[in-house]
Structure 1
Amino acid sequence: MEKVLTTTTTEEILEMPRQVILLVDDNEDILDFVSDDLSEKYEVLTATNGVEALALLQTEIVHLVVSDVMMPEMDGFELCDRIKSELEFSHIPVVLLTAKNSMQSKIEGLEMGADAYVEKPFSPEFLQVQIASLLKNRSKIQAYYSSSPLIHMKSMAYSKADESFLGKLNDTIYKNLDNPDLDVDHLADHMNISRPTLYRKIKSISDLSPNELINLARLKKAAELLNEGMLKIYEISEMVGYSSQSHFGRNFAKQFGMSPTDYLNSRLLDKRK
């Protein structure tokens, strides 16, 4: 039986977990101060160096990292480089905090892939704005992908590593669309990635669970086939893993705001113009 995409009620939105910020600094006073400020809007995890931060990233879903540069064991530059170069974390935005004000220091941070650079001493409000802006942009990209029938999964990529990962993920799902039981375990096996790692990566990069992403991929493939105009709706429904055309129609309308028939007619009308 197909896994159903569900709508989100107002009550569920209010109960949704807050986005997670990982704050990394070897100064406990700064950790406490910034953590207290950010905790009003976000769930905050803390680490005192890059080694601790990477350990947390391997077990937690983190939406953004704020890191000091000067730290023992592993500094912020190396941490940023590790985050941006490892597939499991490469989608996570990184804000670097530093007392250094030289242009060379800023260049080094940006070369490591930092998404923003904030100089100490900094205004808490300024840091809040930087974080909110980065997360809002990511949310817009995720929403655009989810609501646009013909937009490819790779549109959510934040790096070449992400683009490669999402391309492989999309291809893997499409090759197994006729399997109604396709789930995260099947994907992990096909992609040779551990189930927890794949779950965290998909959830963080798309804000969807793997099963939700699989269902969305089914509907997007259906939209592609409807756009081509070569097959009947019931044929497309079966091709993308639905045993019930009515179930397919309800899910399609719920996701894209129109029935498969209305979508097909709108695409045919566009082609005639």
Structure 2
Amino acid sequence: MLPLILIVDDNEEILEFLERILNNKYTILKAEDGKQALKILETEAVQLVISDVMMPEMDGFELCKNIKSHFEHSHIPVILLTAKNTIQSKIEGLELGADAYIDKPFSKEHLLAQIASLLANRNMIREFFASSPLVHIKSIAHYKSDERFLETLNDTICANMEDADLAVEKLAKIMNMSRITLYRKIKAISVLTPVEVINITRLKKAAELLAAGDHKIYEIADLVGFSSQSNFARNFQKQFNITPTEYMHSKQLKKTKI
């Protein structure tokens, strides 16, 4: 699926121009002001917002402020476009949490490069987290609010790790959130489903225990909620491209060298 981008501008010609240059690489949604944009964000899993600053009803600054202060949307990158190319206006936009600020008239190539960079950087960080046994999930957060959420999520999964039936419904109830809200937030930040995040968190805890060397592999499999050692070993190797035994030996070897 192509990344979903929301473009916001009260000028219909600009909306059409932006859609024309972006629709080969991205799925596009359009809004004519900040209020319309926020309604779209309530129902669509938008991955990036491009907004004009000067608009009626709700301008780009207010829209950016709303996005960055709203729990469900704070992870979404925002690019502000504006003819107000003063240093003060740029500072205002960045202080409100904008990820990039581009002056009008803008270069098509510059805009495309900025979008690609924001999305690619996030994907690289997510892939590094998923493939690295000891990297904490909060490493994929770009904002403090998301970091706090991911820390709480990780702590909650770890506290209930021995429950082999832990799933999104149970996790949402423990975190006092609706299932839909939890699913959307996890999916938006990590591109993973809650089930995948639970599984990776189990495996990362297992990696921590393997590195410590205080438990047998079958004991670790049980401690992190897997039904059998063989099931655990298959999942571990699939996720990190190394078997639990190989991983444990590599960590112990490093300790003996030290």
Common fold: TM-score over 0.5: yes
Quote the residue 2:221 is aligned against.
237
1:189 paired with 2:187, answer: no
Please state whether the residue corresponding to 1:129 is helix, strand or coil. helix
1:22 paired with 2:39, answer: no
Q: Structure 2 matches for 1:211-230, cutoff 5 A? A: 211-230=195-214
Find the aligned partners of 2:222 and 2:179 in 1 and give their Cα distance.
Answer: 27
> Which segments of structure 1 move beyond 3 Å, counting only runs of 4 or more?
none
Q: Structure 2 matches for 1:1-273, cutoff 5 A? A: 17-273=1-257
What code does the residue aligned with 2:204 have?
A: K
Alignment check: 8 A CA contact 1:25 1:47 kept: yes
Find the aligned partners of 2:218 and 2:57 in 1 and give their Cα distance.
Answer: 59
Per-residue displacement from partner, 1:224-267 (whole Å, max 9, x unpaired)? 11111100000110111111111110110000010000000001
Alignment check: 8 A CA contact 1:22 1:66 kept: yes
Structure 1: gaps of 5 or more residues:
1-16
User: What is the TM-score of this pair, normalised by structure 1?
Assistant: 0.92
What code does the residue aligned with 1:238 have?
A: D
Q: Percent identity?
A: 61
In the TM superposition, what is the alpha-carbon distance from 1:115 to its structure 2 partner?
A: 0.5
Quote the residue 1:14 is aligned against.
none
In the TM superposition, what is the alpha-carbon distance from 1:29 to its structure 2 partner?
A: 1.0
What code does the residue aligned with 1:266 have?
A: S
User: What is the TM-score of this pair, normalised by structure 2?
Assistant: 0.98
What code does the residue aligned with 2:42 have?
A: Q
What code does the residue aligned with 1:267 have?
A: K
Range 164-173 or range 86-95, more displaced: 86-95
What code does the residue aligned with 2:233 have?
A: G
What code does the residue aligned with 2:115 have?
A: I
State how many pairs are aligned: 257
Q: Which protein, 1 or 2, shows the higher relative CO under an 8 Å CA cutoff with sep ≥ 6?
A: 1
Per-residue displacement from partner, 1:87-141 (whole Å, max 9, x unpaired)? 1111111100001111111010011011100111111111000000011110111
